[in-house]
Amino acid sequence: MPTATAPYKVIANDFTAKIKSGELKPGDKLPTTRQIADEYGVSMNTAYRAMSLLHDRELITGQPGRGTYVAERSEP
């Protein structure tokens, strides 16, 4: 029996796909954690975990007091 993917991973994978496809570009501002929670129908904690995973993947960067943005791509 297949195991369901954790909601925070679904959200993180959705944003990862949008970033990799170019739908979200470096420097684009992301929605707030509250907006993500509302959009996906999850708790704030789940949305925060998704954003933390994206940060760990180095796909986003936070700017205190300004928001969260798609990170600049580092080309090899």
What's the rounded Cα separation, in Å, for the pair 55 and 7? Answer: 17
Tell me if the pTM is above 0.95: no
The arrangement of secondary structure in 7-70, i.e. its CATH architecture, is Orthogonal Bundle (1.10)
pLDDT digits (tens, 9 = 90+) for 39-72: 999 999 999 999 999 999 999 999 888 999 999 9
Domain definitions of the chain by residue range = 7-70
CB 30 within 8 A of CB 60: yes
CB 27 within 8 A of CB 72: yes
| 5-32 per-residue burial string, b: 16 or more CB within 10 A, e: under 16 | eebbeebbeebbebbeeeebeeeeebee
